[in-house]
Amino acid sequence: MKSKNRPTPVLFLVALSMVLLAQQTCLGAEGFLQAIEPRDWTFPKDHGDHPGFQTEWWYYTGNVESADKRPFGFQLTFFRIQLKAVPVESSSKWRANQLYFAHLTISDMEAQEFLVAERVGRGAVGIGGVSQEQARVQVLLHGWETAIQGKRHHLRAEADRLGMDLTLVSEKPPVFHGKRGLSRKGAGKGKASYYYSLTRMGTKGTVRVDGKNYKVSGWSWMDHEFSSNVLSEDQVGWDWMGLQLSDGQELMLFVLRHSDGSLDPVSSGTLVQKDGMSVHLPKETFTIKPLDHWKSPRTEARYPSGWQVEVFPYDISLEVLPNMRDQELMTAESTQVTYWEGSVGVTGAMSRQPVAGSGYVELTGYAGDFKGASLW
């Protein structure tokens, strides 16, 4: 069963007007900065925002459990979208060229309930924004925030039925996907993003479900990505997974799907080794095969549900299963996107040695036209 806050008419209309305005700018990337060449990264500066690029997100997912072994999955994501490449001059303190959205979810595996909350706001008068003071970066929207200082990330978000206050500490340096963080997403100039991850973050703190606080610990993953391009004409969505394995390694894979069911040649992944060194995985080095499917009772979208993953050069064979089948987000109050993002468990072998793990999977483009989404 899925529960979420119902939108108020005023909030819904404000969000819808913002999204429609944002969609007008997403039809092309004229005038915005493009991800073309590999970049030199500097931290903590690059944990912050990158104005000039049209779209940016900070994605946190994790699997934690309470002292009595009650398991939870969580997602906290902040999105930034720039409306115009060149801001319009205005003396109004309410006028802003940046919109911010946020999604919060908790997967309560014991209760088999998926809780969702959303926020939307302009980058004005303290509603939303990104600040950087010395070595501290803060992403904020309506009181939800991530505060980044050194290896420590503090996540805080409160909604009607769910909330969290978590401290994440990265045990490995940033991992840059593609070529020094230039991650190809299609053919042609600028069809790419800048993309890095923190793939193993020790996590402690509190999650709240229906007024009850649970002290939890576990592992989290952070993605930070920015670009100025939407999907190509023949791309309908993507499948992404980030997996944390019991042998101290992590695996990220994504495939971009074409309308005819084929996969884009730029689909790729990254294997992160125990020492933090990473290896790029081109499309031909791995396969992701669905084991089952789940049909949403709300949208009637049919999602893959369980996967067999093979990474040939490293003799990796994994079975990835959702910890709950229903982890579908319908974000009518913010991004107007419906997608599946959920906690998964992992079993299998690496180099013929048993391995287990946990992670998150994201599935987009299964519930209608994804090209109209304001953030992609």
Set out the domains of the chain in order of their start, with CATH numbers: 9-363 (2.40.370.10)
Q: Could you read off the pLDDT tens digit of each residue along the chain, which spans 376 residues? A: 443 443 333 343 344 344 434 443 333 467 899 999 999 999 999 999 999 999 999 999 999 999 999 999 999 999 999 988 876 665 555 567 899 999 999 999 999 999 999 999 887 656 889 999 878 999 999 999 999 999 999 999 999 999 999 999 999 999 999 999 999 999 888 899 999 999 999 999 999 999 999 999 999 999 999 999 878 888 999 999 999 999 999 999 999 999 999 999 999 999 999 999 999 999 999 999 999 999 999 999 999 999 999 999 999 999 999 999 999 999 887 778 899 999 999 999 999 999 999 999 999 999 975 554 433 3
pLDDT of res. 92: 55
How many CB atoms are closer than 10 A to CB 281? 22
Q: Specify the DSSP element, H or E, that contains 289.
A: strand 286-290
**Inter-CA distances, 323 with 73, 87, 320, 348, Å:** 9, 44, 9, 16
Other beta carbons less than 10 A from residue 319's beta carbon: 15
Contacts of 122 (CB under 8 A, 6+ apart): 18, 94, 96, 98, 99, 100, 128
Q: Is the pTM of this model over 0.75?
A: yes
Contact 37, 31 (CB under 8 A): no
Print burial letters for 63-101: b (CB count within 10 Å at least 16), e (below 16): bbebeeebbbbbbbbbbbbbbebeeeeeeeeeebbbbbb
CA distance 193 to 231: 11
Res 67: pLDDT: 94
Pairing of strands 2-4, 113-122: parallel
Tokens 């998926």 correspond to 114
Question: From CA 117, how far away is CA 103, in angstroms rounded?
Answer: 6
Question: For 304-326, what is the HEC assignment?
Answer: ECCEEEEEHHHCEEEEEEECCCC
The pLDDT value given to residue 22: 42
**All residues at 6 or more sequence positions from 22 whose CB lies less than 8 Å from its CB, including other chains:** 81, 83, 99, 374, 375
pLDDT of residue 372: 44
Specify the pLDDT at position 233. 84
Residue 271 near residue 279 (C-beta atoms within 8 A):
yes
